[in-house]
């Protein structure tokens, strides 16, 4: 008789003992080899070299956070910034939604030889195809807002950013870019082949990029890599876009690791309709039950 696997539980945002090892195990389960500096596209859309990102200037010099006040302001600022770079919003384009109160929508579980690891969390704002429901199934960009004092380097947010990226790979049918920003600086993670490419705007290192290039990269992703289909499915996709093919590789690995099947997908959707305090445990039990029914998983 098979023994139930042990469970480890972590949140995206709280740094706890053992979390870094658990994140490394989750990345290994997806076949992700690690983090590598990203390379910007060689050619931008016509006219983009003359367009510039205007930093967000509304942070107070001191005081407490802010989330309910500044999250909507940052979102509106970035809607305006992306519009400058030709990204369309509304019918035929994208929606930019504030989701910071939806704390568990990117939660996921993965298994290792020794245990099941449960990660709980969400993000602050998302760009999705216009009208796509539910948003976590069709993410194109995840935005996480940080105070300037909390965004000082890639290392200051890298574990949380990795978890949000993996949460998107497990939950979405489309690969997503992860953007951490205080409205001035950026840390960007992009699934790419069997690694995660990262970009940042902190000066003093050879691999830093300018904030203008960060916005060009985000806009390039939306306009030239992403599908605008709100019902996009990786199962039916045969992308001619080579860049999308590179982003799809880790997403497909996540689906294989999850054991996605139509019946499993239906059951997981029922689990996600449960109250938040019951949802993650139900999802974990469903995944384990399906895997234990597949003897090849233990071969």
**How far is it, in rounded angstroms, from Cα 11 to Cα 15?**
8
Range of the domain at 272: 265-299
The per-residue pLDDT for 202 is 96
Do residues 81 and 147 share a domain?
Answer: yes
Angle at CA of residue 51, ends 58 and 46, nearest 5°:
150
Specify the 3-state DSSP secondary structure of 94.
strand
Do residues 292 and 232 share a domain?
Answer: no
Is 42 a member of any domain? Answer: no
Do residues 252 and 276 share a domain?
Answer: no
* 97 phi and psi angles, rounded to 5 deg: -115, 140
**CB-based burial label for 279 (10 Å; 0-12, 13-18, 19+):** middle
Give yes or no for residue 24 having a pLDDT over 80.
yes
> In this predicted model, which residue has the larger pLDDT, 290 or 163?
163
Is 93 a member of any domain? Answer: yes
Name which of 111-120, 226-235, 257-266 the model is least confident about: 257-266
Note the pTM of the prediction, 2 decimals.
Answer: 0.84
| Cβ within 8 Å of residue 126, ≥6 positions away | 96, 97, 99, 135, 136, 139, 140, 141, 142, 143
Give residue 149's pLDDT band: very low, low, confident or very high (50, 70, 90): confident
Q: Which pLDDT tens digit goes with each residue over 165-193? A: 999 998 999 999 999 999 999 999 999 88
Give residue 5's pLDDT band: very low, low, confident or very high (50, 70, 90): low
Give yes or no for residue 164 having a pLDDT over 50.
yes
Q: How many structural domains is the chain composed of?
A: 2
Do residues 294 and 239 share a domain?
Answer: no
Do residues 251 and 286 share a domain?
Answer: no
Do residues 71 and 180 share a domain?
Answer: yes
Do residues 139 and 250 share a domain?
Answer: yes
Is 49 a member of any domain? Answer: no
């Amino acid at each position: 008789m098979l023994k139930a696997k042990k469970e480890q539980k972590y949140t995206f945002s709280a740094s706890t003992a053992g979390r870094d090892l658990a994140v490394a195990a989750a990345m290994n389960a997806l076949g992700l080899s690690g983090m590598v500096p990203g390379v910007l596209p060689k050619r931008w859309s016509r006219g983009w070299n003359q367009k510039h990102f205007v930093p967000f200037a509304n942070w107070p010099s001191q005081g407490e956070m802010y989330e309910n006040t500044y999250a909507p302001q940052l979102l509106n600022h970035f809607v305006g910034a992306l519009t400058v770079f030709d990204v369309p919003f509304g019918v035929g384009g994208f929606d930019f939604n504030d989701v910071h109160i939806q704390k568990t929508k990117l939660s996921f579980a993965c298994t290792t030889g020794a245990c099941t690891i449960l990660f709980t969390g969400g993000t602050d704002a998302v760009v999705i195809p216009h009208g796509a429901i539910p948003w976590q199934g069709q993410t194109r960009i995840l935005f996480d807002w940080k105070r300037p004092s909390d965004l000082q380097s890639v290392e200051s947010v890298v574990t949380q950013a990795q978890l949000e990226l993996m949460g998107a790979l497990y939950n979405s049918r489309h690969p997503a870019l992860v953007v951490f920003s205080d409205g001035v600086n950026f840390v960007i993670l992009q699934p790419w082949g069997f690694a995660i490419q990262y970009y940042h705007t902190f000066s003093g290192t050879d691999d830093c990029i300018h904030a203008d290039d960060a916005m060009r990269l985000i806009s390039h992703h939306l306009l030239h890599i992403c599908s605008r289909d709100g019902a996009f499915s990786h199962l039916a996709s045969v992308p001619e876009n080579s860049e999308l093919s590179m982003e799809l590789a880790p997403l497909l690995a996540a689906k294989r690791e999850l054991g996605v099947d139509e019946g499993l997908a239906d059951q997981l959707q029922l689990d996600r309709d449960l109250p938040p305090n019951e949802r993650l445990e139900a999802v974990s039990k469903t995944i384990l039950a399906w895997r234990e029914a597949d003897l090849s998983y233990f071969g």
